Chain A
């Protein structure tokens, strides 16, 4: 395989993955199992900064996927792999199960259709629930409920942490990741592709288009206009842990032809989330919440769980985007304009759920296109995560403390995150260099005070560990510095003038 290198520029990659979301990182993880020279290019300041950081975190079984589609096949196949994948990558997963609540006869009829669909997709463990069964399992759901379904294997994980874990596992196995590096140009060459980023030119034999919302823009760089991606916004409430006892399953409404509706779901960290809306918008960068959207979310939640008042328990609200493809399906195939570019696009809302199988499919397509796959010598399948003191039992705690006393210095008052966890995240395979990057890795600042207590402390630790002045530390993207300068900087300026 390496013979190709001999006459090529020094930085010749076998595969460049465009996009550091859940799909791109899963592909990188899958390919890192083989003896390949790999690079992932991400336009944002970290992996998991787009769609993959703001969604429901639900791992679907595929029970409600459109039967016969590639999506249905990949989601159902992936759902059986997750317990192992999450264990290998040290990512939390919680099998909480889902219940679908029918509020009237019409809903009950629709549930029957969903049940048939589930069976068609090979999800055979979905069960009908009587009103009594439903209310016994979830006493706080709307007492008007007439029945419903139980989908026992529906689970939750954290899409940002899984994305990071995929990428870190790949990096531990030799893959490279370029952050703040959007792909500006993409040109076929005789034996591959030449990519242009603001920093460099990259020569590769193959490329994977996992650019999410921007996958059509990337396709267009090689003249491929076979699909268009438009954003569909979903708004969510995050509720205080004090509300977590209200429901223990994912509580779903009966879907309508246009939307799966607003659900109430536990998160893997013990909060509840409520959402999402589904609004088609124009701007791919618009992740602002709206008064109207949040009102509809609150209404939707009350329909399912009348006692749930999101405003009362709200600790945060966010909006995420889905990438809706003009073709209405997963576009996982070589580009018609450039066969060495493999699309992994149009992954509307099941990117997390299908990720390991999307990655496998992409790997097979690459092999079919001529990429030779030889197992990587010394491949390490396990990616150890950062040990959390919050989850540690007294013995583990003692061990961690004897390793590093900073495990007993709690920096985040709400989530009980220690300084040692922050330091480890800052020096992890994909280093956390911003406040939000730390938040995604160790959840610092995600609790009920939303960083009110820890923000100044985290800033100080980031500055110290990175050897940077505090006023250069960003919340997220460049330009989001939390501090604009030392006290009196204006007076000092005036003084100098």
Chain B
């Protein structure tokens, strides 16, 4: 087998990997090689054609392809190389085995390695749903790829199991492509995706969300014909006819490589154990992104990738000395997971803990404690398991601990999403606030020229209520068939009135892209009769 020597090797060209490669180059790494198993870089962002990315990191509302192309542009300005169609099959300290059709089977030796392997979806087999094994049962992300990158629909009438973000996004996406989404069914008594997605993917289109229920049987062969839904509270069983079952029931960090190196995984995250430099217990090995722990926002993944890239560059340059002492951070009461799992005694002043809670909470009070002593406190107005709580602390808070530090959270149970359910049928001026997981019920009244907002817990909520009352607008995204095969992701330049969303796709039905387009190119100057333009989210072919 051929051998290739590099300073930093990055496994995965998704947002974490691209950020890591850029950052490693920026911080002086000479030879940076990204290994990507797919046909082109960008990771899952390629198929996330919807908007909502980049508000934190770029300060702009971007689609997935737009976000990916920004990261790619930065990487392309450095000397980093990217091998596509290239899968890493095993990891030993400082060494990767790579299968690449262009370069052949290769051993890549790297002074530092960043694992940015992303995550995969839980399957029907993991859930143990009994029944037949027909076509029409897919994970939501696989369906998203088929629709957005291949341009084909996997069914006519869908049921979505799981209210995770991918499932919610797919509910809207399929609806806009003419697939009937009969229902979203969620095991938990609350929606697990972001409130914004519940509002804008389900409520906007009148798609029912059935909580505290699950699919208990799959029927039909060779094509799915129906699923059996059981309401866990009442035990009521119902058959619902559909030819597509999408599963959005959780993500699993991809860590075969970590295991192949003989390292352990944290059962709480499914990712490797890292310290606050994102370093694994083997020198020169770093991890970032959804392969480390499943994140809620790509912006966060990007920042993490940058940190891993920086650390990898440093390690490659000098073979950084391993820290003297690492203080273990243990997830305690109410906390599902904390990353990093270790904090080094020495390092930059601030340490950020990414915490996932077990249950939705209001007035959540986080505590870092050790040897019976509380070292630091932090409060969040509301938080839910679907989101990461980021808590910035001073490093010296940890340094004073003699024993492992524990993170716990106390708060009142939050069941706002149930109100979301009721409100769907409510009066038009009743709104569910999507600004935070608190999910305040908002009421808007016009009084003369003034709009009065009741029920909002914060100024952001009041602003949201006014905007929604005056004219609720949504960005519109879809794909357009092209002569070169792969569909072109497109978006509206501004917001489209919410009630007009479903009127747009039929108008675009006969649109074909017949010539190469540049990213951001205007394809239709006025797509909705109100001057909103349709632009390309990425270039092609």
Interface hits, B93-122 → A, CB 8 Å: 99-105, 120-121
Q: Is the CB of B153 within 8 A of A452?
A: no
Minimum CB–CB distance from B519 to chain A (whole Å) comes to 21
Q: Does B128 contact A490, Cβ atoms closer than 8 Å? A: no
Interface readout for A123-160 with B: 1 if CB under 8 Å, 0 if not? 00000000000000000000000000000000000000
Stretch of B355-363, B398-406, B504-512 lying at the A interface: B504-512
**B residues near A471, Cβ cutoff 8 Å:** 152
Please measure, in the bound complex, the distance between the C-alpha atom of A182 and the C-alpha atom of B323, giving whole angstroms: 71
- In Å, the complex CA distance between A288 and B133 comes to 7
Chain A contacts for B217, CB-based, 8 A: 291
Tell me if A475 counts as interface (CB < 8 A to partner B): yes
Closest beta carbon of chain A to B281's beta carbon, Å: 20
Question: Any chain A CB within 8 A of the CB of B370?
Answer: no
Q: Chain A residues with Cβ under 8 A from B124's Cβ?
A: 450
* A39 contacts partner chain B, Cβ-Cβ < 8 Å: no
Which stretch (B142-150, B335-343, B529-537) binds chain A? B142-150
* Contact partners of A470 in chain B: CB under 8 A: 150, 152
Known: A289-B131, A409-B99. Contact between A484 and B506, CB under 8 A? Answer: no
Question: Which of A237, A316, A410 has the largest number of chain B CB atoms within 10 A?
Answer: A410
Q: How many B residues face the partner with a CB closer than 8 A?
A: 60
Q: How far is the CB of A266 from chain B (nearest CB, A)?
A: 18
A398 touches which one: B87, B104, B146 (CB < 8 A)?
B104
Say whether B139 faces chain A, with CB atoms less than 8 Å apart.
yes
Cβ of A474 < 8 Å from any Cβ of B?
yes
Q: Are B153 and A489 in contact (CB under 8 A)?
A: yes
Chain B positions within 8 Å of A450 at CB level? 123-125
> CB within 8 A of A494: which of B134, B147, B509?
B509
Q: A317 contacts the other chain (Cβ, under 8 Å)?
A: yes
| Contact status A452-B178, CB under 8 Å | no
Q: B85 — nearest CB in chain A belongs to which residue? A: A409
| CB of B243 within 8 Å of the partner chain | yes
In the bound complex, how far is the Cα of B479 from the Cα of A268, in angstroms? 44
- Segment with Cβ contacts to B, from A162-170, A257-265, A372-380, A453-461: A453-461
Question: Considering only CB atoms, which chain A residue lies closest to B138 in the complex?
Answer: A455
Q: Is A401 an interface residue (CB 8 A)?
A: yes
Are A409 and B101 in contact, with the CB atoms below 8 A?
yes
- Is the pair A480, B141 in contact by a Cβ cutoff of 8 Å? no
Partner of A487, one of B85, B177, B243, B259: B177
Chain A interface secondary structure, helix, strand, loop or mixed?
mixed
B156 surroundings in chain A (CB, below 8 A): 484
A483 & B510 in contact (Cβ 8 Å cutoff):
no
**Neighbour of B101 across the interface among A242, A406, A413, A482, CB < 8 A:** A406
Task: For A397, list chain B residues within 8 Å (CB).
Answer: 1, 105
A474 and B178 contacting across the interface, CB-CB below 8 Å: no
CA distance A490 to B508 in the complex (A): 12
Given A456-B149, A483-B153, A410–B506 Cβ distance below 8 Å?
no
On whether the beta carbons of A452 and B222 are closer than 8 Å, the reply is no
Contact B120 A449 (CB under 8 A): yes
Q: In angstroms, how far is the closest chain B Cβ from the Cβ of A107?
A: 29
A489 and B178 contact, CB distance less than 8 A: yes
B509 CB contact (under 8 Å) in A294, A451, A455, A495 = A495
Q: Kindly state whether residue B42 has any CB partner on chain A within 8 Å.
A: no
Are the CB atoms of A491 and B152 closer together than 8 Å? no
Contact among B145, B147, B509 for A492, CB-based, below 8 A: B509
A205 shortest CB reach to chain B, Å: 35
Residue pair A314, B142 in contact (C-beta under 8 Å): no
Q: Is the CB of B487 within 8 A of A487?
A: yes
Residue of A293, A451, A482, A492 contacting most chain B CB atoms (<10 Å): A482
Which of A389, A476, A488, A489 is B99 in contact with, Cβ under 8 Å?
A: A389
Check A413/B37 contact, CB under 8 A, given A456-B142, A480-B223.
yes
Q: Which 9 A-B pairs have the closest CB atoms?
A: A490-B178, A480-B222, A491-B509, A475-B135, A316-B125, A409-B101, A483-B152, A480-B135, A477-B222
